[in-house]
Amino acid sequence: MNVEIEGGEISPKRLVAPPSKSYTHRAITISSLSNGKSIVENPLLSEDTLATVDGCKALGADIDRKDSELVIDGFGADPEIPNDVIDLKNSGTSLRFLTGVASHLKKGYTVLTGDNSLKNRPNEPLINALNDLGAEIHSTKLNGTAPIIIKGRLQGGYVEIKGDISSQFISSILINTPIAPENSEIKVTTKIRSKPYIDITLEVMEKAGIKIAKEGKAYKVKGNNKYEPIEMKIPGDFSSASNILALAAISNQEIEMKGLSPSKQGDEKILEILERFGAKIIHKKDTVKVKPEPLTGITIDASNIPDLLPILSVIGTQAEGKTKIHNVEHARYKESDRIKAMATELKKMGAQIKEHQDGLTIKESSLKGTKLNGYDDHRIVMALSIAATQAEGKTTINTAESIKISYPNFFNHLKKVGVEVDKK
C-alpha cells in the first residue's frame, strides 16, 4: 500500500497512545509459560503481537480475546508439539522469544519462520547460547536466520553472550531459563545496547513471581521454577507515540496524548530529548502535552533508544543548526538498516544529512515532497510520514501497510490532527 501525504497546518487535538508493543509481547509470552489463567488488559493487538499470540497458541496456550483484554491459560514448562511450521511474519521479538519457549519441548521439534525481512535478521548469538544451555537448535543459513529448527530440552547452566547486537537475545534467555531444570548464569560480555528493554522483561517476570539476581555483568537464575499467572494493564507505547509528539514539536500547534504513564520504557526519553531541542513538555500522570517552540540542534547518544533514530532524524531537519545522533550502530539490524534508510530517503526530500557507521548528522533543511521507500519498516514509514507533513507538496511512501506492526491507527491519528492522508 502507498500513502500520499501533503504538508499543511495541523489542528490541536487530544489523542490516546497505542498500548506498548514491548510490554504486550512479554506479557503474552510469560503468561503462556505460567500455570493457570492470566489477564492482560489493554494489549496492543497488532501484526507483531498477534504473531506472538499465534505462536504461543501453536505451542499449546489457550488465548481468548474478551473486550479489551486477553485471557491466557498457559502451558507452564511443557509446550506442545505444534501441528505445523509457525509463521511469525515480520516479528523479530516473537521469533527470538519463541525460539527460547520452543526449546522446552520434551520431544519432537518446532520450526519457526517468517517473511523475507525476518529471514534476514541475525539470531546466531541466541541460538549458540541456548545450545550451550542444553537445547538443540539449528538454522540452515548464515547468522542463524530463519527458518529455525528447535528441539528440547533446555537444561540451564553457564553461558556467555554479547549484548551489543540485540537485547532480545538476552530477554529470551532470561524469560526461559527459570523453568529449565538447572540453575543458570548468563554473563554479558559487552556493553548492553537497548538495556531498557531488558528492564521491561525483568519487570514482567517479577509480576509473574520470578526475580533475577544481577551480579556485575552476570544474571543469576534459579532453575526448576514456575511462573505464576499475572494480571496487568499494558501502558501506552512511547516508541510509537514519539512520532505524534514530534509532529507537535515541529509544527505550529500543541498536541495532547493520553495513556503515557511513566514506565521502564527507554523511549520515554523522547520527552527529555524534545525538551533539549527546545519544545515545551508538560507530563502529568498519563497525559503528555507538547507545545511547539523554536528548536535547536543537539547531540544525542541513542545507544539505548535505537527505535527513536528515525523520528529523531526528522526532528533534526527542522531544528536550527546541527543535530548529531550517534552510538546506535545496532539500528542497522532492525527491520531495515535504519541509519542508511533515513539518510537515503531524507536526502531525496532535500535534507542535509550525512550517514556515519553509528548514526547520522543532520542540518536544518527545507523539505520537498517526493516518492519515498518505506522499506516495509513501520518506524521508517511513520517517521517519513511526519517529515512529509513539513514538506512542500505531496509525498508518496510505499509499504505503508507496515504500520500495522505497531501502530495500526497511526494514519487515522494523523487525519484527526488535520494532516491530508490518502491511502492508495
At residue 9, the pLDDT reads 83
The mean pLDDT value for 183-194 works out to: 94
339 pLDDT above the threshold of 90:
yes
Q: Which pLDDT tens digit goes with each residue over 261-272?
A: 999 999 999 999
- Give me the amino acid identity at 233: K
Give the E-state strand segments of 184-230 in sequence order: 184-188, 213-215, 218-221
Helices marked H in 10-166 — which ranges? 21-32, 47-58, 92-102, 124-132
Render pLDDT for 17-54 as a digit per residue (tens, 0 to 9): 999 999 999 999 999 999 999 999 999 999 999 999 99
* Residue written as grid cell 505464576: 228
Residues that are catalytic? 307
pLDDT in tens, 348-398: 999 999 999 999 999 999 999 999 999 999 999 999 999 999 999 999 999
As a whole-number percent, the residues of the chain with pLDDT over 90 amount to 93
Domains, the chain = 3-18+236-423 (3.65.10.10), 21-233 (3.65.10.10)
If you compute the radius of gyration of the chain from its CA atoms, what whole number of angstroms results? 21
- Asked if the model's pLDDT at residue 316 lies above 80, the reply is yes
Amino acid identity for residue 414 in this structure: L
User: C-alpha cell of 82?
Assistant: 505444534
Strand 371-372 vs strand 359-363: parallel, antiparallel, or unpaired?
Answer: unpaired
Q: How confident is the model at residue 180 (pLDDT cuts 50, 70, 90)?
A: very high
Q: Which three cell numbers stand for residue 306?
A: 535505537
DSSP 112: E
| Helix boundaries (H) for 73-225 | 92-102, 124-132, 167-176, 195-207
| pTM of the predicted protein model | 0.93
Q: List the grid coordinates of 338.
A: 535504519
Q: Residue 300 in contact with residue 273, Cβ under 8 Å?
A: yes
Crossing angle (nearest 10°) for helices 338-348 and 378-389: 30
